[in-house]
Homo-oligomer: A and B are copies of this chain.
Amino acid sequence: MIDRLDGRLIELLAEEPRIGVLEASRRLGVARGTVQARLDRLQSQGVIRGFGPQVDPAALGYPVTAFATLEIKQGQGTDVRAHLASVPEVLELHTTTGQGDMLCRLVARSNADLQRVIDKVVGFDGIVRASTAIVMENPVPLRIIPLVKQASED
């Protein structure tokens, strides 16, 4: 899928996103055109989805994160999805194995505010039951580099 040069390029971009193609080619010891071609390929293959800004919810005033497991009434999946998608505090939603189960990531302004968010999330007809786990620590923040290294060494 990706080779070592791709891997090194992604790592380099992850460490110093500000550097341009030219600087990257210098660091990697290859020609500029090569870096450009690799980048184009990685993006068109979908390996690199983009370079959007990584926004910290805590810095926006939402320091509380929680995960909620939802049990859904049969046949209500579509409605529930639309409902959850409309709630800004729902950052992520997955449907998982086990019928009617969904897992979503929530943020809130405070523990008290989390109650409001949960009420907004579960106050919907198709949702039968919800259990919430509040995040206390985040020892491993969302990361991808170790996986990239692994993948590039095949």
- Chain A positions within 8 Å of B, measured between CB atoms, are 1-2, 10, 13-14, 17-18, 45-62, 65, 67, 81, 84-85, 87-98, 101, 103-105, 107, 133-144, 146-151
Contacts and interface: CB of A to CB of B under 8 A. Distances in A.
A88 B51 CA distance: 22
- Please state the number of chain copies in the assembly: 2
Ordered nearest first, which 6 A-B pairs have the shortest CB separation? Answer: A93-B140, A88-B146, A96-B133, A17-B51, A47-B59, A49-B54
B57 A54 contact: no
Contact of A84 (B53, B62, B140): B140
B96 A140 contact: no
A54 to B, nearest CB: 4
Q: Tell me if A's interface is mostly helix, strand, loop or mixed.
A: mixed
Given A52-B14, A52-B17, A148-B55, A61 B96 contact: no
Contact of A47 (B55, B94, B146): B55
Given A57-B144, A61-B1, A67-B103, A96 B136 contact: yes
A65 B49 CA distance: 17
Contact of A1 (B17, B59, B81, B104): B59
